[in-house]
Amino acid sequence: MRRLCHVMVVAIVAMAFASAAFAGPTKVGIMTGTTSQGEEEYRAALEMIEKYGEDRVIHVTYPDKFMDEQETTIQQIMGMASDPDVKAIVLVQGVPGSAAAIDKVKEFRPDMFFINIVPHEDPLLVVQKADICLETDNPMRGVTIIELAEKMGAKTFCHISFPRHMSYPLLAERRDIMKAECEKRGIEFVFVNAPDPTGDAGIAGTQQFVLEDVPRQVEKYGVDTAFFSTNCGMQEPLIKAVMTTGALFPEQCCPSPYHGYPGSLGIEIPPDKAGDVKFILKAIEEKVVEAGRAGRFATWKVPANMAFTYASTEYAFDVADGKVSGYDRAHMEKLLYKYFGEESRIRSYENVEAGVKADNFLLIVGESIIFGANK
């Protein structure tokens, strides 16, 4: 029996040394939405695979109906963490189930480094789970989007969402700030309840609602109505409907020239122009001006979720390769400025009521462009 135990111990040690000897290159895991939920982040992940190599990036997607399939999300994250060469995981977006997944991963991989982008769960919870959290500065955007809408000539501001999104603290806070800013500027604020894309009607049902409802709102409030919606899947039909009616579109939920514009305006992006922001900005402006809608469409000059993905993946590899240890705010900010531009504004998440200021939760606002504003 002793001899058997000895043989087993030797075998285990030998296997351990063999595993170490044949360990592959350090890897980073990236979880994104599908092309239906978030094509932009999905494409960004593919770019990261091309940049770092298929052997160094593991890419999985969360389910379209992520509210009903949180266990699938958890399994996807745990699956990436089961690879011992994966040293860091980037979540784009941090859909419900992400916090629980991080807890489960930490049980067998306490060293795993997590970056949670656009977390859907309670900010006070996610900052305790992930090493870094990143999001557009939604409270500040409550001010800047209304400022932009006013600059574009808005008399009415139409906010389209659904109860699930309005249960998210940062999105609800942004809505409240938008309403207050509209009142301050004499702009009528209108809230429209749309079907949840994770519900029975799915994304298709939500998109059809947007296509049908925007003309009704324009007929009621006039063409100087600015439209904003909180869901990625709504952006393409919303831009189409606003373009048809002649209304105003100041910004997407995830501001970016790639988000909703190419599909809604029929812009083909040649392979050699993929990721070329100057190309897509020019192409959008040409379409907007050609349609006689100059000055009525806008977005950020940089693609938000793509920039988050680029910066986070680079940071994750710096962690994996030992170039940075844990959370280094200065290093993260340097990468955010690199991809968002030096004129961007970054601050820490703060919940005054709870008396919490989270240094590892960074919020950012980029610079806007109004297409054809001078034409």
pLDDT bin (cut points 50, 70, 90) of residue 275 is: confident
Determine the average pLDDT of the residues in 336-358: 89
The pLDDT of residue 91 is 98
Tokens 């603290």: give the residue.
Answer: 169
Give the pLDDT of residue 5: 39
Domain 28-136+305-365 shares a fold with domain 138-301: yes
Query: Is residue 249 a contact partner of residue 217, using CB atoms and an 8 Å limit?
Result: no
Long-range CB pairs of 281-284 (<8 Å, 24+ gap) are 281/257, 281/369, 281/371, 284/257, 284/371
Cβ pair 105, 77 in contact under 8 A? yes
Kindly state the average pLDDT of the residues 86-97.
96
Q: What would the 3-class secondary structure string for 15-44 be?
A: HHHHHHHCCCCCEEEEEECCHHHHHHHHHH
CA dihedral 224, 230, 232, 236 (to 10 degrees): -20
Question: Distance from first CA to last CA of the chain, Å, rounded?
Answer: 88
Pick the CATH number of 138-301 from 3.40.50.1000, 3.40.50.11390, 3.90.105.10, 1.10.3720.10: 3.40.50.11390
Name which of 128-132, 174-178, 338-342, 368-372 the model is least confident about: 338-342
> Which residue bears the tokens 């240094």?
359
Contact indicator for 251, 157 with CB cutoff of 8 Å? no
Lowest mean pLDDT among 127-131, 263-267, 338-342: 338-342
pLDDT (tens digit, 9 = 90+) per residue, 201-256? 899 999 999 999 999 999 999 999 999 999 989 999 999 999 999 999 999 998 98
| Average pLDDT over all residues of the chain | 91
CA 137 – CA 114 distance, rounded (Å): 20
Confidence of residue 330 (pLDDT cuts 50, 70, 90): very high
String of DSSP letters for 312-368: HHHHHHHHHTTSS-S--HHHHHHHHHHHH-TT-EEEEEEETTTTEEEEEEEEEE--E
pLDDT tens digits, one per residue of 287-328: 999 999 999 999 999 888 999 999 999 999 999 999 999 999
Q: How many Å apart are CA 216 and CA 90, to the nearest integer?
A: 40
pLDDT at 184 over 90: yes
In this prediction, residue 23 carries a pLDDT of 61
Q: How far apart are CA 129 and CA 111, in angstroms?
A: 13
In this structure, which CATH number among 3.40.50.11400, 3.40.50.450, 3.30.420.40, 3.40.190.10 belongs to the domain 28-136+305-365?
3.40.50.11400
Average pLDDT over residues 141-169: 96
Helix ranges (H only) for the chain are 2-21, 35-52, 70-81, 98-108, 123-129, 138-151, 163-166, 169-185, 202-221, 235-245, 261-265, 277-290, 304-320, 329-340
Residue 10 predicted with pLDDT over 60: no
Q: Which pLDDT score is estimated for 190?
A: 98
Instruction: Of 181, 187, 192, give the one whose Cα is nearest residue 215.
Output: 192
Beta strand pairing call for 356-365 and 345-351: antiparallel
Q: Residues 54-76: pLDDT tens digits?
A: 999 999 999 988 888 999 999 99
What backbone torsions phi and psi does residue 328 show, to the nearest 5 degrees? -120, 100
**Percentage of the chain modeled with pLDDT above 70:** 93
| Domain segments of the chain as ranges | 28-136+305-365, 138-301
Q: What is the reported pLDDT for 341?
A: 87
CB of 56 closer than 8 Å to CB of 25:
yes
pLDDT at 40 over 90: no
Phi, psi at 227, each rounded to 5°: -110, 140
**Main-chain phi, psi angles of 173, to 5 degrees:** -65, -40
Instruction: Name the band, by pLDDT with cuts 50, 70 and 90, for residue 98.
Output: very high
Q: What percent of the chain has pLDDT over 90?
A: 78
Asked if residue 6 has pLDDT above 70, the reply is no
CA atoms within 13 A on the CB side of 183: 6
Distance set, CA 243 to CA 144, 161, 258, 296 (Å): 22, 20, 16, 9
